[in-house]
Structure 1
C-alpha cells in the first residue's frame, strides 16, 4: 500500500513540474535527513557493537542504490526503490513522454522481467505497486481527490502524517537503543518495551520533523527559488 500511495502522489506531482524542479525536490526531500540518520546508525553500530562498515557497504548506503549487502539503515530498502522510481519518472519528464503511456509501457516491461526472474530488482512487485498508484492517479485522480477532500482527520493524526518520514527513519535507532537500555536496567518485559518504543518513536519523529526536517526543506525551497 505504501508504494501505491507513493506512486499516486508522485504521478500528480510529475504532471505539474519540469524535470529540474522534480529532481531537486525529490533529492532534497529524501537524502539530507536520511544522511543524518545514516550517520547516527553508523555511530550506533560502532559504539554498541564495535562494527565499522567498509567503503563497499557505505557507498551504496549513501547513494541509496541496490547492493548485495543489507542496508545499513534497515528501512532504507524502501528508499532504494523510491529513488529508482523517481529516476525513471524524471526520465519520462525530461523526454516529454506522455506519462500514462510511459507508465503502461513501464508496467509491461516490469511484469515481463518479473515473469522470468521474480527476484530481479527491476522486476519487483514493489515497482508494479508504484506504477499502479500512478495509473490510478491518471485515470481516477479527480474521483479520488473528491473523496479525499471529504476526510476530516484530527490534528494529531495530521501532525503524525507530516512527521511520518522522520518517524520512519528514526524509529529503528530509537527502539534499538531503548531496548538495550531497558535490558541493562533489568526491564525485559515486551509490553513495556513495545509501549515505550511506540510513544518515544512518535515523539522523537515529531521532534526530528520540526527541528531537523522542516528547516532542511525550508532551506531547500530557498535554494530552489534562487536557482529558478
Structure 2
C-alpha cells in the first residue's frame, strides 16, 4: 500500500499524467539511439518549509559539471531494468538515498540532450520517509540540499542565464548556487505544472559564470547547457 500523498501533490500529478515531451523542450527526442539515462526528481516536505526538492552540487574538482547543481542521476547500467531503477541506484550511490524511502509517482517524457546524446527520463518521486543524506561519492558530489518550492518560486531567486554560445534558459539563484541547464528547465516546467510558479521578471538575464563554462557532457552524468528550453 502506497503511503498517503500530500494534497499539494495532486495538481502536479494531474498535469504530469498527460505530460508530453513538448511541455519540457522544443527538441524532438529521437525514436532510437542516444545514451539511456535517468534522473530522480525527489519531492519531499518539511514542516517549517513546505514542499521541497532534493538537489546535489557537483564537486568543484570535477573535469565536467564542476560545481553545478543537478538532480541525482546518470547513465543507465546494463543491470538496470528501467529508468526508475537507474534513478534510484544513482541516488543511492551519490547521496546514500534509501530506495525504499521513495514512492515513485511517474516517469516523465524522455528528453534528449544533443551535445552529449543523452536521452534522459526524469523520474518523479515522493520522499515518504525522509532520512539524512550526504555526499557519498565525494569525488563527484560536494553538497546535498533540500531546496524548498517557496525558495525556487521566489521572484528574487529567478533569472535567465546566457551561455557564450547564445543559448538562454531558465535559472535559479538559491543559497549561493546557480541552478541552470537541464535541471533548471525541468524544475521550471514542474513548478508551472504544480501551480506553484509566481510572476517573475524574465528580462533578468545573467551571463553564465566562467567557472561553469566547463560544464559539458561527462561520461555518465546528466546535466548540460543544451537541456530543455523554456
Q: Give the TM-score of the pair, scaled to structure 2.
A: 0.24
Query: Which of the pair has more CA radius of gyration?
Result: 1
TM-score under structure 1 length normalisation: 0.25
Higher helix share: 1
